Amino acid sequence: MIEDLGQKSGWALLYGAALAASFCPMLFQLLFATVAMGIVGMAHGASDLAVVRPEKRVLFLSGYLTLMVLCLLVWQSYPAGALPVFLLASAVHFTVEEPAQSGWLRRLALGLGLVTIPAVFYRTDTALLLSYTGSSPHSLASAISVMHGIGILCAVLIFIPALVRKDYRTLTGVLSLLFFPPLIGFSVGFLILHALPKTHDRRRALGCENYYDYLRLTWPILCGALVFSLLAIIFVFPEAQKPVRTLFTLLTALALPHLLITPLFESNENN
């Protein structure tokens, strides 16, 4: 009873904050996205080290940290190319991480949809966000058109089966992607459709009875990620003139190693 009440309070807080941020200036939307994706969402990747065999951890950390630094450098030197790579890698990751029993069509629709559905009703806002990467107006217009079309198709492919199955979690995630502004919608959709379910799966796989035990296990990685982000902001982005680009850069640096490095070592562990 207490746990159920806590979950309902958590959802109410999430949606209340998302709704409030939607009517606020971009700075507050960025703050919401930073907390939702960078802190709450990051918890599901904080257990990456725990799924690696002890004798492989030095090599794992070396590859992980190297890719993090490389992401910072690429974003600094070629941001227009860095964002498409990040979005594509994210879509592939979301697709692969979905349970196989979901079927390849739903997995693909969900993976692509998390990235593209926010552009369905917010083409202008999405274009504005992507413009901070330095993309040319022509390539940006083409990208938004493609995202808009794919987003509509993915929303239909996910929403209708979920409605038939009365899958309220999926319905809520898709509606969040559709109707909240892009940063807010992606943050909430990412949490509902990917981060929170994967955190739950990792917690159970690691034998943690509750999320308190899970956080006790993963707090060193969480703290390390926060320190890395603070150092990057202080030394790499001291002018803080482009907060959207800074957020994208940090998300890439924190997420891409989780997307690319961890599966290699996690697969070895499972084998």
CA distance readout (Å), 76 to 38, 89, 134, 242, 249: 20, 19, 11, 12, 9
Which ranges in the chain belong to alpha helices (H)? 2-22, 26-35, 57-77, 79-97, 104-116, 123-131, 137-165, 168-179, 182-190, 196-205, 211-235, 243-270
The whole-number average pLDDT for the span 190-196 is 91
pLDDT tens digit string along 98-115?
888 888 999 999 999 999
- For residue 145, what are the contacts with CB-CB under 8 A and spacing of at least 6? none
Round to whole Å and give the CA distance between 54 and 265. 11
The type of residue at 152 is I
pLDDT tens digit string along 62-103?
999 999 889 888 888 888 788 888 888 889 889 988 888 888
Round to whole Å and give the CA distance between 133 and 144. 14
Round to whole Å and give the CA distance between 19 and 236. 32
Which residue from 91, 73, 119, 82 is spatially nearest to 194, judged by alpha carbons?
Answer: 91
pTM: 0.85
